[in-house]
Amino acid sequence: VIKVVVAGAAGRMGQTVVDAVSHADDMTLVAGVDPALGSGVEEALGDAEVLVDFTQPGAVLANVAAAIEAGVHSVIGTTGFDMAELERMCQGAAVNVLVAPNFAIGAVLMMRFAADAARHMPKAEIIELHHDTKLDAPSGTAIRTAALMADASGNAPPPIHSVRLPGLVANQEVILGELGQTLTIRHDTTSREAFMPGVLLAARRVGALERSPTVGLEHLL
Ligand SMILES: NC(=O)c1ccc[n+]([C@@H]2O[C@H](COP(=O)([O-])OP(=O)(O)OC[C@H]3O[C@@H](n4cnc5c(N)ncnc54)[C@H](O)[C@@H]3O)[C@@H](O)[C@H]2O)c1
């Protein structure tokens, strides 16, 4: 049984993760922590094996540093933080870190298809649409998609447009254009449950990673 601490437990994602971990047969929830609940990660890590963090860009790295210090693996869903700083923190660490800008299988496939398409259709733009309380723009998923498309095609990363409106959860369109034709690859998240199978898979597998940090759920599929 994997002992899990969830950081950001009062948030939209954190509440859904607490529920998913509580219902997983092979996991126990050690604690769900959040300053909004009057708790922090450090006091909860003693008895844990994996920290799952869905917090804020300004909070995640301190939580992961505490986890590394306590010998606890980390699964990071938070977006918008300094990846170079995380890579420095992971050097020589005795535990592993997995970061995924998007834990939904459909979004992972969208990124793969977009990278494939970019090899054949070099002109593209990305439109990402999220709820209006999202703190970061562009989204971590859009930045990752653009990087994967640039790697695959050898071209500059495509431009990204960000839409923030109430009523949205998380959506992204990659539009590729050629003379006389366009191709649109679109992913829509209609509920935060979309992310849970990926989050649970990451919590199960983070301890056995060969590289840390590993970026992207695709490395576990
Ligand atoms: N990787 C993915 O698949 C995925 C999917 C959706 C959202 N996200 C990202 O997850 C993050 C959270 O999104 P959300 O919509 O749940 O946000 P939210 O604002 O609803 O929740 C964030 C929570 O973190 C808490 N928090 C702040 N500092 C903390 C700390 N030091 N320790 C513990 N908790 C702390 C806040 O009090 C809040 O309750 C964002 O960065 C978002 O972009 C990632």
Q: Provide the terminal-to-terminal Cα distance of the chain, rounded to the nearest Å.
A: 21
CA 41 – ligand 1 centroid, Å: 14
| pLDDT (tens place) for every residue of the chain, 221 residues total | 999 999 999 999 999 999 999 999 999 999 999 999 999 999 999 989 999 999 999 999 999 999 999 999 999 999 999 999 999 999 999 999 999 999 999 999 999 999 999 999 999 999 999 999 999 999 999 999 999 999 999 999 999 999 999 999 999 999 999 999 999 999 999 999 999 999 999 999 999 999 999 999 999 99
Amino acid at the residue 150: A
C-alpha 173/C-alpha 33 separation (Å) is 34
Q: Which of these is catalytic: 23, 73, 130, 161? A: 130
Beta strand segments in the chain, E: 2-7, 27-33, 50-53, 73-76, 97-99, 124-130, 160-164, 170-178, 181-189, 214-215
Q: Which of these is catalytic: 3, 123, 134, 219? A: 134
Of 94, 91, 101, which is closest to residue 60 (Cα–Cα)? 101
C-alpha 127/C-alpha 119 separation (Å) is 19
The CA–CA distances, whole Å, from 176 to 45, 169, 180, 184 equal 46, 24, 11, 6
The CA–CA distances, whole Å, from 182 to 17, 113, 141, 155, 178 equal 37, 14, 22, 18, 6
Would you state the structure tokens that stand for residue 2, as one six-digit string?
Answer: 């994997």
15, 79, 187, 193: which to mutate for ligand 1, most atoms within 8 A of CB? 79
pTM as predicted: 0.94
Residue 204: Cβ-neighbour burial (10 angstroms; 0-12, 13-18, 19+): middle
Classify 27 as helix, strand or coil.
Answer: strand
Q: Answer yes or no: 23 catalytic.
A: no
Task: Output the pLDDT for position 126.
Answer: 98
